[in-house]
C-alpha cells in the first residue's frame, strides 16, 4: 500500500521558542518528502518566529515543501487552521491533513507513516496518536491518550501515568481505541472527511475547537480513534504563566465549554455546568469564570449559539458518572481491558489484567 500526499498545518503566534526545533524535527520525518507539504500559518507574531522560519529555509534551499502564510491580525487558532486547510486543499489536494501545534517535539520520526498506514488499513478517517508531556528530564508521561467525555460534557484525556516505554509495550496488545474526540495538538484527518464536515468553528478562537470539530465529525458518520503509536511531546502553554493572559485564556475555556455543552449535550447539562461555574466563582473568587460566563451569555443573546434540548452525541460513547471512581464506556468493540478503568488508577488496572508486563 503506497503512501499518500499529506499536508501538515502549523499555526504559530509568537512561537520563536519552539520553531527551530520543530523545523528540524519536520525535516527529519520518516516520510517521503515529495509527498509532504508543510504550511505555517502565522497569526501576526511580533517575535522572531517568521525570521527563524525564513532563515531556516535560506540555509536549507533543498527544502521546497514548506509554505508560510502571514496574517496581519491574530484571528485565533481555529481560523488559522482554516486558512491552512483551504490553502492545502486548493494547492496540494492531500489525502490527509495533519493539524500540529508549534510547541511539540517529535519523539518518533516514523509516527506519521505508522499512523497513516494503520488508518488506511482500518479505513479510519480521523485520529490522534499518543501525545506526551514535554519534560526537560525526558521522563515523558502521557498528556493525551483517550479523548473521552462524560454526560455533562467534561473532557478526559486518560492514562496520565503511562510512560513512553510502557506505551510501546502496550501498542503490541492494542493498536487503536474508538474515542469521542481527538486533540488538535496533533490530529490526522482524511481530507474527504474535512470536505464533508466543513471547517473549524472560528468563533471559538482558542480551546474546545478540537472537541467541537470531533463531535461534528462523529455526527457526519466519521468515528474518531486514538492510535497507540508514540508520536510527539507537547509543551504546557506558556501563556498560562502570565496572570493577565492566563485569565483571558481561562475565560475562553469556560465560554467555549458552555458553547459545546449547549449545542451537543442538551439543556439540563448546560444548566448544571453553569451552576457549577457559578459555585466555583463564589468559592475561588476567579474572575476568569465570571468573564467566561459573560462571553457565553453575550453570544447567546446575539443568537450565535443554538441550544439543543437533547443529547446529540451518540450515547454509546459517553462516560456515565457513578459514585465509584470507575468509569464505564458503553461501547462493545472497545478492548475489554478498557471498558472500565479508573482515571486515577489506569496503570494499576492494566497491570492487574497483565497487559503491561
Chain centroid to Cα 99, Å, comes to 8
The domain boundary, picked from 209, 235, 261, lies at 235
| Torsion-angle region of 342 (φ positive above 0: left; ψ -120 to 50: alpha; else: beta) | beta
Q: Looking at the structure, tell me whether residues 264 and 218 fall in a common domain.
A: no
The model's pTM: 0.85
In the listed set 206, 235, 264, which residue is the last one of a domain according to the structure?
235
| Residue 39 belongs to a domain | yes
Q: Render the burial of 311-343: b for 16+ CB within 10 Å, e for the rest.
A: eebeeebbbeeeeeeebebebeebeebbeebeb
- Average pLDDT value for the chain: 81
**For residue 144, what pLDDT is reported?**
79
Q: What is the pLDDT of residue 75?
A: 95
The H or E element that residue 99 is part of is strand 96-100
Average pLDDT for runs of 10 along the chain of length 357: 93 93 94 95 95 92 86 96 98 97 93 95 93 72 77 69 64 74 96 98 92 94 88 71 68 91 87 86 83 88 74 61 34 38 38 38
Size of the chain, expressed as the number of residues it contains: 357
Does residue 27 sit in the same domain as residue 77?
Answer: yes
CA distance 257 to 76: 16
4: three-class secondary structure by DSSP = coil
What's the CA gap between 326 and 350, in Å, rounded?
13
Same domain, 36 and 175: yes
SS3 of 26, please?
A: helix
Question: 166 with 119, same domain?
Answer: yes
Is there a single domain that holds both residue 268 and residue 200?
no
Residue 353 lies in a domain: no
CB 143 within 8 A of CB 157: yes
Is 153 within a domain?
A: yes
Smallest Cα–Cα separation from 212: which of 265, 176, 250, 160? 265
For 47, phi then psi, to 5°, come to -100, -155
Same domain, 250 and 192: no
Spatial separation of the C-alpha atoms in residues 254 and 295, rounded to whole Å? 9
Q: Which domain holds residue 251?
A: 240-301
One domain, residues 259 and 149: no
Q: Is 28 exposed, middle or buried, given 0-12, 13-18 or 19+ CB atoms closer than 10 A?
A: exposed
Beta bridge partners of 98: 8, 188
| Tens-digit pLDDT profile for residues 13-63 | 999 999 999 999 999 999 999 999 999 999 999 999 999 999 999 888 777
Euclidean distance between CA atoms 178 and 298, whole angstroms? 35
Kindly tell me the number of DSSP H helices and DSSP E strands found in the chain.
Answer: 11, 15
Chain segment 306-341, per-residue pLDDT in tens: 777 777 776 555 555 432 333 333 333 334 334 333
Instruction: List, in order, residues 6 or more apart from 314 with CB less than 8 Å away.
Output: 218
Which of 285, 301, 317 is the last residue before a domain boundary? Answer: 301
> Within this chain, do residues 150 and 88 fall inside the same structural domain, yes or no?
yes
Query: What is the widest separation between alpha-carbon atoms in the chain?
Result: 60
Using an 8 Å Cβ cutoff, are 143 and 132 in contact? yes
Rounded distance between C-alpha atoms, residue 198 and residue 94, angstroms = 16
Are 124 and 255 found together in one domain?
no
In 3-state terms, what secondary structure has residue 67?
strand
pLDDT value, residue 6: 98
208 and 257 both lie in a single domain: no
Domains held by the chain: number: 2
Amino acid at each position: 500500500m503506497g503512501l499518500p500526499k499529506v499536508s501538515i498545518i502549523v499555526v504559530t503566534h509568537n512561537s520563536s521558542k519552539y520553531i527551530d526545533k520543530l523545523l528540524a524535527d519536520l525535516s527529519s520525518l520518516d516520510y517521503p518528502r515529495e509527498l509532504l507539504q508543510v504550511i505555517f500559518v502565522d497569526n501576526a507574531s511580533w517575535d522572531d518566529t517568521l525570521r527563524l522560519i525564513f532563515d531556516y529555509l535560506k540555509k536549507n534551499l533543498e527544502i521546497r515543501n514548506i509554505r508560510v502564510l502571514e496574517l496581519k491580525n491574530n484571528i485565533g487558532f481555529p481560523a488559522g487552521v482554516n486558512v491552512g486547510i483551504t490553502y492545502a486543499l486548493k494547492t496540494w489536494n492531500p489525502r490527509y491533513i495533519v493539524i500540529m501545534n508549534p510547541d511539540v517535539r517529535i519523539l518518533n520520526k516514523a509516527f506519521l507513516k505508522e499512523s497513516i498506514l494503520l488508518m488506511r488499513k482500518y479505513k479510519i478517517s480521523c485520529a490522534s496518536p499518543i501525545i506526551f508531556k514535554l519534560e526537560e528530564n525526558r521522563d515523558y508521561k502521557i498528556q493525551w491518550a483517550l479523548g473521552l467525555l462524560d454526560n455533562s460534557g467534561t473532557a478526559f484525556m486518560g492514562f496520565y501515568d503511562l510512560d513512553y516505554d510502557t506505551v510501546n509495550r502496550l501498542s503490541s496488545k492494542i493498536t487503536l481505541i474508538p474515542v469521542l474526540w481527538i486533540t488538535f495538538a496533533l490530529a490526522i484527518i482524511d481530507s474527504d472527511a474535512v470536505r464533508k464536515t466543513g471547517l473549524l468553528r472560528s468563533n471559538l478562537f482558542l480551546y474546545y475547537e478540537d472537541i467541537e470539530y470531533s463531535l461534528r465529525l462523529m455526527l457526519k458518520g466519521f468515528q474518531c480513534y486514538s492510535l497507540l503509536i508514540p508520536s510527539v511531546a507537547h509543551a504546557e502553554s506558556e501563556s498560562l504563566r502570565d496572570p493577565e493572559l492566563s485569565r483571558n485564556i481561562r475565560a475562553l475555556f469556560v465560554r467555549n465549554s458552555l458553547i459545546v455543552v449547549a449545542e451537543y449535550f442538551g439543556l439540563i447539562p448546560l444548566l448544571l455546568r453553569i451552576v457549577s461555574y457559578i459555585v466555583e466563582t463564589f468559592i475561588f473568587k476567579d474572575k476568569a469564570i465570571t468573564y467566561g460566563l459573560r462571553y457565553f451569555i453575550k453570544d447567546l443573546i446575539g443568537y450565535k449559539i443554538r441550544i439543543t434540548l437533547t443529547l446529540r452525541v451518540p450515547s454509546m460513547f459517553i462516560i456515565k458518572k457513578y459514585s465509584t471512581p470507575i468509569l464505564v464506556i458503553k461501547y462493545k468493540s472497545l478492548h475489554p481491558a478498557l471498558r472500565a478503568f479508573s482515571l486515577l488508577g489506569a496503570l494499576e488496572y492494566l497491570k492487574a489484567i497483565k497487559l503491561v508486563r
